[in-house]
Structure 1
C-alpha cells in the first residue's frame, strides 16, 4: 500500500506544478454595490435590450436612406439558338399590302449592361418614416432604462434574500446554542437531583427540533445565492461571499413628498416609453396617409449593348444609349388596402393613449403602496427593537430563576422561543424595510 500512496502524492504534486492552480476555488467577495455593477455588465436581459437600441439606430439610418438616390448596375448575356424575328410591311420586299415580311435580326450572342439611377424628388412618407424611426430609437433607449431599473431592483432584492436567509440561519444557530446550554444545565441539575427527567427530555427534544430547520436554512442559503448569481449573469459554479449585512438606516431613505406622483411620472422610463410609442403611432398614421399622395422621382439610365454571331469580344461594337427624365406615380385604387392600414394605425394610437392613461393610474397606486410599505416596515422596526430588548431580559431572568429551581423548564422554553421569535420579527421588519425601499426607488424612477 505504501508505494501506491507515494505514487498518488507524487502525481498530485506533479499536477499542481504543471497547472499552477490550487485545489481550493477562489471566492468572490461581493457587496451590493459591486453586485449591481456586475449585473449591469453581465446580465443577459440587459445585453438584449442594449442590442435593441443599436438596432433602432440602424432603423433611423434605413429611413434616411429612402431620401437618397438608388443606383443599380445590371449585366446580361443572351444566347439565341434561333435569332429574334422582326416584322416589316410586305410592300418593302414586293409582297402584298396586307402581308408582313419576317426577318431574323441580330447575332446569336447578345450582351447588355447598364447603370440605372433613381432619385426621389417628392415622396410624402419619407419625412414621417424618418421621424418615426427617431422616435422608435428614443423609445428603445427608454426601454433600456426600464430593463436596467428592473435588473438593478432584482439584483438588490436577490442580494437581500441571501442576507436574510443567512441571518435567519445564524438566528437559529444561536437558538440551538442556547438550547444546547439549557440541555447541559438540565443534565447537570438532574445529576444533582434538582431537575426532573421530564425537563431533561424536553430540553433534548427542543435541541433536536432545531436541527432540521438549520439544515433547511443552510440549503436555502445556497438556493438564494444561485438565484443571485443567475440574476447577475455570473457562472453558477462561481463561489461568492456577501460582505454586507441587514442594517436599518433610515437616514439614507428619501421619502417622497406630496408631489410624489408627478415626480414618478416624470422619471419613470415606462411612462416615457409609452408616451414615445403614442407619438410613434401618430407618425404611423401620417406615414400610411402619405401612401395616397403622388410620388415624383428623377430617373436616368446609361447602357451599352452588342450582338454578334461569335464570342470574339474584341471585335464587338459597344454603342451607348442613355436617357434622363421624370417619373410620376399616382395611386388611384389599391383595393382599400391603404384605407385599412390607416384605420389600423388610428386604432393602434387609441390603444396606446388608453395604455398611457392606465399606466399613470398604476404609477399613482404603486407610489401610494410603496410609501405605505416603507412607513409600515419602519414602525415595525421601532416596535420590534424594544420587543427584542424586553425578550432578552426576560430570557436571562427566566434562565436564572430556572437554575435556582424557581421557574419550570416550560417557562424557560417559552422565554427562549419568545426571544427567538422577537429577533426573527425584528430581522423580518428590517428586511421588509430594505426591500420596500428598493421597490420604492424603482417606483419613483430613481434607478437609471
Structure 2
C-alpha cells in the first residue's frame, strides 16, 4: 500500500514537472517569424480582413437590387360593423337626389396574395454595383495599409527588445571592467602602490552602475510585452529573440526619381485615395440617377373571401391577377437631388486634393527616411573607429595605472569613454536599422 502511494506521488510530481516545463518553454522568435506571426494574429489585421468579407456581402446586396422582389402577404379582418357602399337613391326606392347606403360583405374578410416587382431600368442599380466593387478594393487597400503599419511596428518593437538586451550587456561589461579595477586597486593597496580612496572610488562606481541593471532588465520585459501585444500573442507567453542587432553595411544605391516612382506606385495610401476618387465618381452617378425615370415590371395574384361564419369548407376563394409595367418620372423633389449631387462633387474634389497632399507627404517622407539612413550609416562608420580607439586608450590607461603612472581618475575617464563609445555605436546601429524600417515603409516595401 505504501509503495502504491509513493508511486502515485511520483507520477503526480513527474506530470507536474512536465507541465511546468512545457509552460516555461520559450518561443524562439526571429524578426521574420515575428512579422509572419503578426500578419496572422494581429487583431487590427483580423478586423481588416473581416471588413473585406463585409464588403463582399455589400456587392451581393447591390446586385440584389437588379433581381425581382417577390413578397407574399395575407390579411384577416373582422368587421364590428360591416363595410358601407353608397348608391344612388333610385337603387333603393328613394328620390334621385338622395344617396342610399348599403352594408355589404361579411363580418370576416380574408385576403392573400403574391406580388412581384422586377426592375427594368433604374439608373442607380448598376452604379451601386460598381461602387460596391470599388468599396471591396478600398477595403483591400485598407488591409494593405494596416499591414504596413503593423509590420513596421513589429520590426521596431523587435529592435527595441534587441537594443535593450545590448544595453544590458554593455552595462554588465562596464560593471565587469570596474570590478576588475576594484580587484586591481585592492591588490595595489596591499602592495602599498595605491591609496584606499582608489578602492572606495572603484566600489562606489560599481554600486552606482547596479541600479541601471535593474532598470534595463525591467525595460527588456516592457519591450517584450509591447512586442507580444503588437504581434497579437498572449502576454504570458515567453519569447526569446534569435536575431541580433547588427549592421551589414549594405545600402542599395537608388536614384531619387526611381524611389519616388516606386513609393508613389506601391504605397497603399495612394492606391486607397485613387480608388476613393473613383468611388466618389460613382456616388455622383448614383445621385444623378434620381433625375432619371424608373421602369419596372409588376405582377400580382390574389385571392379573397368574406363570410359571416367560420365554415371554411363552404368559402369561395375567387382569384384575381394582373401583370403590368410601372413607370415613375421624378418631376420635383425640393432640390434635394441637386444638393446631393453637389455634395458628391465636393467630396470628389476633396479626395483629389487629399491625393495631391499625400503624394507630397510621401515625397518628403522618402527624402527624410533616406537622409536618416545615410546619417546613421556615417555615424556607424565613425563610431567603429571611436570604439577601437577607446578600447586601446582603456588598455593603455589601465597598464599605466597599474604601474603607478596614471591616476584612478584617468582610469575612470577611460572606462567611461569606452562605455560611451560602445553605447554610441550601439545607438547608431539601432538608428540605422530603425531608419531602414521607416524607409521600407516609405517606399511601400513593408508588406
State the TM-score, normalized to the length of structure 2: 0.95
RMSD over aligned Cα atoms: 1.8
The C-alpha deviation readout for 1:176-202, integer Å capped at 9, x for no partner, is 010011011111111211101221111
Q: Is the 2:437–2:446 Cα contact (8 Å) retained in structure 1?
A: no
- Correspondence list, 1:270-285, <5 A: 270-285=269-284
Q: CA shift at 1:14, angstroms?
A: 3.2
The C-alpha deviation readout for 1:222-270, integer Å capped at 9, x for no partner, is 000000000001111111111111011133x544323211110001011
For 1:96 and 1:335, the matched residues in 2 are separated by 49
- Correspondence list, 1:235-246, <5 A: 235-246=234-245
Q: Is the 1:38–1:232 Cα contact (8 Å) retained in structure 2?
A: yes
Report what 2:93 is aligned to: 94
For 1:266 and 1:55, the matched residues in 2 are separated by 27
The C-alpha deviation readout for 1:339-393, integer Å capped at 9, x for no partner, is 1111111111111011000000000001111111111111111111111111111
Q: Tell me, what secondary structure is at the counterpart of 1:250?
A: coil
Q: Tell me, what secondary structure is at the counterpart of 1:21?
A: helix
The C-alpha deviation readout for 1:318-337, integer Å capped at 9, x for no partner, is 11101111111111221221
**Residue 346 (structure 1) aligned with residue 345 (structure 2):** yes
Q: Tell me, what secondary structure is at the counterpart of 1:177?
A: helix
Q: CA shift at 1:314, angstroms?
A: 2.1
For 1:407 and 1:273, the matched residues in 2 are separated by 66
Report what 1:387 is aligned to: 386
For 2:89 and 2:26, the matched residues in 1 are separated by 99
State the TM-score, normalized to the length of structure 1: 0.95
Report what 2:185 is aligned to: 186
**Residue 21 (structure 1) aligned with residue 19 (structure 2):** yes
For 1:255 and 1:147, the matched residues in 2 are separated by 28
Name structure 1 gaps, 5 residues minimum: 1-6
Report what 1:422 is aligned to: 421
TM-aligned CA distance change 1:199 to 1:18, over 3 Å: closer
Q: CA shift at 1:136, angstroms?
A: 1.2
For 1:147 and 1:232, the matched residues in 2 are separated by 13
Q: Is the 2:288–2:337 Cα contact (8 Å) retained in structure 1?
A: yes
Report what 1:257 is aligned to: 255
Q: Is the 1:16–1:22 Cα contact (8 Å) retained in structure 2?
A: no
Q: CA shift at 1:108, angstroms?
A: 1.7
**Residue 405 (structure 1) aligned with residue 404 (structure 2):** yes
Q: CA shift at 1:11, angstroms?
A: 6.6
Q: CA shift at 1:8, angstroms?
A: 13
Report what 1:170 is aligned to: 169
The C-alpha deviation readout for 1:3-24, integer Å capped at 9, x for no partner, is xxxx999879636548962365
**Residue 356 (structure 1) aligned with residue 351 (structure 2):** no
Q: Tell me, what secondary structure is at the counterpart of 1:194?
A: coil
Name structure 2 gaps, 5 residues minimum: none
